[in-house]
Structure 1
Amino acid sequence: MDYKWRASKSSQEIVETVASDDRYDWDYHDVEMLQRRLKQRHVQMIAIAGTIGTGLFLGSGNALQVAGPLGSLLAYGLVASVAYSSLCSVGEMTTWAPISGTFPHYAARWVDPALGFAVGTISIPMRMRPRITQLRPKPPCRTSVPVEINAAVILLTFWDKDANHAAIYTALIVLTVWAINIFGVRYFGESEFFFSSTKLLVIIIILCAGLVLDLGGGPDHERIGFKFWINPGAVNRAGLVQDIGADRFFAILKVVIQAAFSFQGMELVCIAASETENPRRNIAKAVRRVFYRIVVFYMLGILMVGMLVPFNNPALLSDTGTAAQSPFVIALHSARIKAFPHIVNAVIFISAISASSSQLFCSSRVLYGLSIRGQAPKFLSYTTKRGLPIASVLASGAFALLSFMNVSEGSETVFNWLVNITTTGGFIGWFSMNLTYSFFRRGMIAQGYDLKKNVYHNALQGMGWTIFFIFINGFAVFFKFNTSMFLTAYINIPIFAIMYFGYKIVYRTKIWKPLEMDFVTGIPTVEETELPPDPPVTFLEKVAAAVF
């Protein structure tokens, strides 16, 4: 093995690192054509977009109905901690190596090239962000680009119930999503800034209005408090077994799976690192602040809904896919604000558009990262003069055309089946992030690096929980077995195994040993990526610095 010696930037010691293997193009510094056009405010709002969406606005209602206020709060709290630990893992690796390809490349570079290929390949068509959990099909579906587009079309039925217009709306939304990504990363950043700012404003208004109602500020001046935690109760039953305690546990377990869908997509902020100005400083700041946003917006949102709406409220069982089923609309219905449902539906619609655009961005960048390292067709690495990976964007954007399948009743079943078979894809992504970080940490320590001196360091780990999520994803099917639901829940496991072992056998890859891991080649130094920060001077600049 050909070794080289290099001074460690973090420990100022001489460490032994392996040179780039000829079979793997780690040293792509001259090949990388993406440009850093995302600013700090873009990155911060992209991080918010990954944590607040239709999973909160609509999915929280289904969670409340299934497990009750305390059960849903416990489930979301557990999953939030696992999701944040996964983000911390990929966040530390990203601030060390802010390059294209993100976690699939890190898996290939520090674990096994076969793992990087399998994770990257499975994540391209399966990019998802669970947003609308009451849309067909059931159980709660995960979303990719075409599914988010269909969700947006369904949301429009809140205002226009003419089914003949579905094809027109689908075409317009597809063109909008394409335009946001084709015009360049700067336009993507500005659109996410607008979408996230709108969602942030509305959720703050909702939380404040909910608190006023709970304390007796509604038209009837009734102080609600926690009375719905007493009657009908704090935890609902799943209806799977006779034992009350076990049945309540299964109800919480059901919501754990749904909540896991709602938090997937937070890694978007790290995928954007290769196109971010001062990526190490900005990504580190965004990852740190995600925790507080989860607590303030998600957990307080779930708590507020559980205080204002009993889990046996019939409105929670509605299946419209619009604001009519939002627990926030149901909770604030007594306020008699006629415009409120329209405002919430508009925000959920914006969330669906944002999610569609984000998934297209994610899948195209992962595809580009695979291409420049020889794990995908070379033509997909083509970029414009402005640094846009146009070939990967167009290839990924082609999947959006699948959304037209839902316009036809005959194709809808096929479309829903294609959506459902990707159920565990996001969990596999989380698992790979945590697994890769454990290898990354072991290799850094073995080669003499001081992890605490990294730009961002957090040793949180959630690998065990991600494995747990993968295997309990379809646990309810074992109480009343259904072949289709079983395949929906677990088909990704053998698919992932086939891709991993197939690539490993064909290319004879190996798992990297700690001293063989390459932490240097093709990774820009801090001096190459970071500019001195401009300290805020005016009052507004100081406010912006605190918020963003």
Structure 2
Amino acid sequence: MIAIGGIIGPGLLVGSGNALSQGGPAGVLISFALVGIIVFFVMQSLGEMATVIPVTGSFIEYAERFIDDALAFALGWAYWYLWVTVLANEYNAISLVIGYWTHTVPQWGWILIFWTLFLVLSNLGVLAYGEMEFWLSLIKVLALIVFFILAICISAGGVGPKTIGFKYWDDPGAFADSINGVAKTFVVAGTLYAGTEMVGVTAGESANPQKAVPTAIRQVFWRILVFYIGTMFFIGILIPYNDSRLLGSSAQTASSPLTIALTDAGILPAAHLINALIVISVISAGNGSLYVASRTLMFMSRNGKAPRFIGRTNKMGVPWIGIICSNLFSCIVFLSLSSSAGKIYSALITTSGVATFIVWSVIGIAHIRFRRALAAQGQDASTLPYRATWYPWGTYLSLAGNIFLVFFQGYTAFLNPFSASDFVINYILLAVFVLFLVVWKLWHRTKFVKLEDMDIWTGRRELPPCEEVKTSKSWWTRIEEIVIG
């Protein structure tokens, strides 16, 4: 259920407008489809490891045990940065969405209100978080289904003043800036897909990871296909990419593309309803962002990669200091209220997207090393509770794709004339990641883990000798499990 909460968030419901404005309707479909394929295989790799070795540190611990401690250090801080910047964008998104109704309260006021709300909700404990996430996720799923139905009616002319069809694919066009626009939307896609790997982070706190993790992993493909590709397709036929209300050049006046489409069709009640549900989705996603960021800090502190006091927990096991630190850093959102709001918003999206590709790359490397260690230590992969689909080709494909995107996403900075500011924004996160890795490796003189010395046993869970007999399920139950978990 946490996986679906991570997938349907403000990035999809609000930030998708930024992707549409940069790539055009065809451009975003291409970039989101390609990144979606990569995500599928990344989740296969993570699912295999998280099922057999469910640990709180997830892929950060896998990097430490399977590759190099220095890589785990750099990865941990990159992943924490990813989620606090995502959280900052969520604060920005919710202040914009509420601005659809009223401008009485300034944007910074709404940010402060929800900053406090998220801080309180995140300290309730994992059980309260899981229960709340279930109902919020259900609401988000229903909202998207309603939007899809209305989008079909609007496009066909059944609702609204005119038939739209694929008019906006012709004028202003299917691509905003040819291949350059597609390249720019890759980092947006990476940022919006961030959250699919949350199932690995939560595996260590799951009561039955051998059942819960594989189920969530298998459903990722369908959720990506329906929710992400479906949403991008429908907003691409209902709104021209040059609409000034999209989250592009002016991050202070943008609206959700879903709300824009329904407003233009004259369905104001539905527009208000969708806008309210977007607010709910931001609350859900904000909880998830703080959850992952704080758990990442907790793991880092307990492993000597962050100040030890950050890992302190309350009686419910909640890392309250990690929550406070993560929420404080998210205050960089106030930079988006300046006169350069659009540029700052794009910079946050770009750096968090690059961080996502780096994290996914390390997951692929860890998976390859894990499989090789199994063979080196005389273990058969058939004993694993869950095995990745199309290994090794799927894992190698996702690894190559992520490494390519880390470098390709910023190639537009080199076009004539060369843009120094774009170059820094596109590649500074990669440079800092390498710096963290090298400094930690030199300072602590870490060693690359050999296959025969790799720890593939601590926390390991074998395939149970007797699996439960599968019972037949109704078609409605199967659909429910696929859609909402």
Instruction: Report the TM range for the smaller structure's normalisation.
Output: 0.7 to 0.9
Query: One-letter code of the match for 1:162?
Result: T
User: 2:22 pairs with 58, 62, 66, which one?
Assistant: 66
Q: Within 2, Cα distance between the matches of 1:205 and 1:218?
A: 14
User: 1:261 pairs with 179, 182, 191, which one?
Assistant: 191
User: 1:283 pairs with 209, 213, 238, which one?
Assistant: 213
Q: Within 2, Cα distance between the matches of 1:167 and 1:377?
A: 31
Q: Within 1, Cα distance between the matches of 2:341 and 2:247?
A: 23
8 Å contact from structure 1 (residues 421, 491) kept in 2 = no
2:414 counterpart residue number: 478
Shift of 1:333: 3.9
Shift of 1:383: 3.0
User: 1:150 pairs with 81, 86, 92, which one?
Assistant: 92
Q: Within 1, Cα distance between the matches of 2:56 and 2:329?
A: 22
2:453 counterpart residue number: 516
Q: Report which of the two has the higher share of helix.
A: 2
Shift of 1:541: 7.1
1:96 counterpart residue number: 52
Q: Within 2, Cα distance between the matches of 1:252 and 1:539?
A: 39
8 Å contact from structure 1 (residues 305, 327) kept in 2 = yes
Q: 1:179 to 1:534 in 2, by over 3 A?
A: farther
8 Å contact from structure 1 (residues 236, 251) kept in 2 = yes
Shift of 1:104: 0.9
Shift of 1:90: 1.6
Q: 1:343 to 1:481 in 2, by over 3 A?
A: farther
Q: Which has the larger radius of gyration?
A: 1
Deviation larger for 265-274 or 324-333: 324-333
Counting aligned pairs with the same residue, the percent is 32
1:112 counterpart residue number: 68
Q: Deviations over 1:49-102 (max 9, x none)?
A: 222223332333343343333332122100111122222222211111111111
2:222 counterpart residue number: 292
TM-score when normalising by structure 2: 0.87
Aligned length: 476
2:130 counterpart residue number: 189
Q: Within 2, Cα distance between the matches of 1:454 and 1:218?
A: 52
8 Å contact from structure 2 (residues 140, 277) kept in 1 = yes
* Mapping for residues 99-178 of structure 1, pairs under 5 Å: 99-127=55-83, 143-162=85-104, 165-178=106-119
8 Å contact from structure 1 (residues 322, 345) kept in 2 = no
Shift of 1:232: 4.9
Q: Within 2, Cα distance between the matches of 1:107 and 1:202?
A: 38
Q: 1:475 to 1:367 in 2, by over 3 A?
A: same
Structure 1 stretches of at least 4 aligned residues deviating more than 6 Å after TM superposition: 410-418, 530-543
Shift of 1:446: 2.2
Shift of 1:280: 1.9
Query: One-letter code of the match for 1:146?
Result: A
1:52 counterpart residue number: 8
Q: Any unmatched runs of 5+ in structure 1?
A: 1-43, 129-142, 239-247
Shift of 1:387: 2.6
TM-score when normalising by structure 1: 0.77
Query: One-letter code of the match for 1:55?
Result: G
Name the SS of the counterpart of 1:125 in structure 2: helix
Name the SS of the counterpart of 1:509 in structure 2: coil
Deviation larger for 304-313 or 318-327: 318-327
Shift of 1:217: 1.7
8 Å contact from structure 1 (residues 114, 500) kept in 2 = yes
User: 2:426 pairs with 469, 484, 489, which one?
Assistant: 489
CA root-mean-square deviation: 3.4
8 Å contact from structure 1 (residues 127, 426) kept in 2 = no
Q: 1:398 to 1:348 in 2, by over 3 A?
A: same
User: 1:467 pairs with 376, 381, 403, which one?
Assistant: 403
Q: Within 1, Cα distance between the matches of 2:38 and 2:475?
A: 37
1:207 counterpart residue number: 148
Shift of 1:488: 1.3
Q: Within 2, Cα distance between the matches of 1:123 and 1:147?
A: 15
Q: Within 2, Cα distance between the matches of 1:75 and 1:150?
A: 24
2:359 counterpart residue number: 429
